[in-house]
Amino acid sequence: MTNKDVTKVKRKGTFKSAPLPEPVLTTEPLKGDELVKVAVAALEDVKGQDIQVIDVREKQSITDYMIIATGTSNRQIGAMLDKVREAVKALGVKPLGEEGKGDSDWVLLDMDDVIVHMMTASARQFYDLERLWSGAEQSRALNAAHHSPENTHEHFVKLNKDQQ
């Protein structure tokens, strides 16, 4: 088509191009450890601070890993969310959901096997997810020992004497 032909074509109205087809993946989308590596690299790329990965496979069945990262401002947290989302989508992972967008101090990206928490320092200190998830196994073990038959409490001893 020459330039003369192009000038003859008149279009009325606004035309939107058709959406591009989704790329067909020949391999399985990333899962588990590989997804964690991609997400951590994306967080590091936008200067996420104090990035911690917690393996929660033995503690609950919702997800396998939780990544917690600190951002210096709500704007940086938004950039962290965008970067992780773009990085995983480029590799064929479709996030299940996002929570806390906008001016929130805590943003969450759920990718099924991996959940990424991006927070301000004050929100991270307040909610203290590391202690919650890392300490869960220890507190269960302590509670189990505390309630074992070998460890009888005074009120149970008194109750047993009263019943006799």
Q: What is the mean pLDDT of residues 26-48?
A: 83
CA distance 150 to 64: 35
Span 133-147, pLDDT tens digits: 776 444 333 444 444
Give me the residue spans of the domains in the chain: 32-142
CATH superfamily label, 32-142:
Beta Polymerase, domain 2 (3.30.460.10)
Span 6-26, pLDDT tens digits: 455 455 555 555 565 555 554
pTM of the model: 0.65
pLDDT of residue 56: 84
User: Phi/psi of residue 52, each to 5°?
Assistant: -125, 140
* pLDDT mean across residues, the chain: 75
Q: H/E/C letters for each residue in 111-154?
A: CCCEEEEEEEHHHHHHHCHHHHHHCHHHHHHHHHHHCCCCCCCH
Beta bridge partners of 107: 118
